[in-house]
Amino acid sequence: MTEHEMTLGGPVVRPRRLRTTPALRRLVAETEVRPRQLVLPVFVREGLAEPQPISSMPGVVQHSRDSLKAAATQAAELGLGGVMLFGIPETKDPVGSGAVDPDGILNVAIADVVAEVGDALTVMSDLCLDEFTDHGHCGLVTPDGRVDNDATLAVYAEMGLAHAAAGVHMVGPSGMMDGQVGVVRAALDGAGHQDVSILAYSAKYASAFYGPFREAVDSSLQGDRRTYQQDSANAREGVREALLDVEQGADIVMVKPALAYLDVVRRVRDAVDVPVAAYNISGEYAMVEAAAAQGWIEREPAILETLGSIHRAGADVILTYWASEAARLLR
């Protein structure tokens, strides 16, 4: 500031001017989350008659097949972009047979939801074995306990075909096996499913924030996923993973989790020319819900600020357990 400006009564350049009224702030807002960008992840559990609460995710439930249909209808009415389906089978085995069985819970749920909402919503499915294996890993495990990348790819291809046969619009390979996008793309194309798109969980990190999700899907996992999910120290590697997935035919690439990886969201957004998604995961949800329940933070503004930050970092699409509620708040 020059002496001259001061004598005339203070700074000439005053950013606060544009913050004077709500209308002015609205006028110059740089970014805005819209309901169409939000995807609601939903859990459906085989054999349930009534939806069942998930204690670590207040407000989120394991759905019955009927309550899932109702949730999907509501999501469509609210103008959401899509739903991401996770299935919880009654029985698990070492190879995750329930994942490829046409009568498996995820496959019947996809068909249920598509029959219910048609094309009003993008129906997405989690393409991974961890909910279906008794050891809880995302892939097949060798006798000496390693997760077998290439043997797993063959099962992912089959799983993609099962989801496509059930009518899914978009599959979400989330197991972090090398080559998973290419293998699923080839299998879909080979069976005439060129229109089924792929949302690739590209930069998926081994995260402590998945805790509540493990309850949500009754996970059987012992140990961790650090030989396939990424190390949280690495951002450049996340960009590399996203570029590889684009090369293999990913239609959308995703970064997960979102909040502890906003730098990765931005770097991936700058590096690719396909839409970028981010997954606002269970632990991120639980932290806000828990603090709000204590009265330590104001819940609704915290939700909108959270989603806004993910969008501002560069996410075109956000998967969030708050999707339906946020759509109401944003109306």
Choose the catalytic residue: 92, 163, 193, 256. Answer: 256
Closest CB to ligand PBG among 57 and 161? 57
92 flagged as catalytic: no
Residue whose pair of structure tokens reads 């060798």 in the numeric block: 142
Q: Answer whether 82's CB lies under 8 Å from 125's CB.
A: no
Residue of 174, 202, 248, 306 that binds ligand PBG (CB under 6 A): 174
Q: Which of 60, 61, 128, 317 binds ligand PBG (CB under 6 A)?
A: 128
Q: Measured between alpha carbons, how far is 289 from 58 in angstroms, rounded to an integer?
A: 7
Smallest distance, ligand PBG to C-beta of residue 196, A = 19
- Which is nearest to 82 in space by CA: 72, 90, 91, 92? 72
The amino acid at residue 26 is: R
Nearer to ligand PBG, 112 or 130 (CB): 130
- Residue closer to ligand PBG (CB basis): 126 or 245: 126
Q: Give the CA count within 13 Å in the CB-facing half-sphere of 119.
A: 2
What sign does the dihedral 108-111-115-120 (CA atoms) show? Answer: positive
Dihedral (Cα; 72, 78, 79, 83), 10-degree rounding: -30
User: Which residue is at the shortest CB distance from ligand PBG?
Assistant: 213
Question: Is 69 within 8 Å of 118 (Cβ atoms)?
Answer: no
| Site residue total, ligand PBG (CB under 6 A) | 10
Nearer to ligand PBG among residue 55 and residue 331 (C-beta): 55
In the shown chain, the binding pattern of residues 273 to 292 toward ligand PBG, with x for contact by CB under 6 A and - for none, equals: --------xx----------
Considering only 43, 156, 210, 261, the residue that binds ligand PBG (CB under 6 A) is 210
Is 205 a residue that touches ligand PBG (CB under 6 A)?
no
Q: Are 68 and 28 a contacting pair, CB within 8 Å? A: no
Per the CB < 8 A criterion, the answer to whether 250 and 274 are in contact is yes
256 belongs to the catalytic site = yes
Tell me the residue length of the chain.
331
Looking at 70-78, 124-132, 260-268, 309-317, which segment touches ligand PBG (CB under 6 A)?
124-132
**Which member of 45, 69, 204, 269 is catalytic?**
204
Distance (Å, rounded) from C-alpha 36 to C-alpha 81?
4
- Pick the stretch among 122-130, 187-195, 241-249, 263-271 that binds ligand PBG (CB under 6 A): 122-130
Residues marked active site are found at 204, 256
Give me the residues that bind ligand PBG (CB under 6 A), please: 126, 128, 130, 138, 174, 210, 213, 225, 281-282
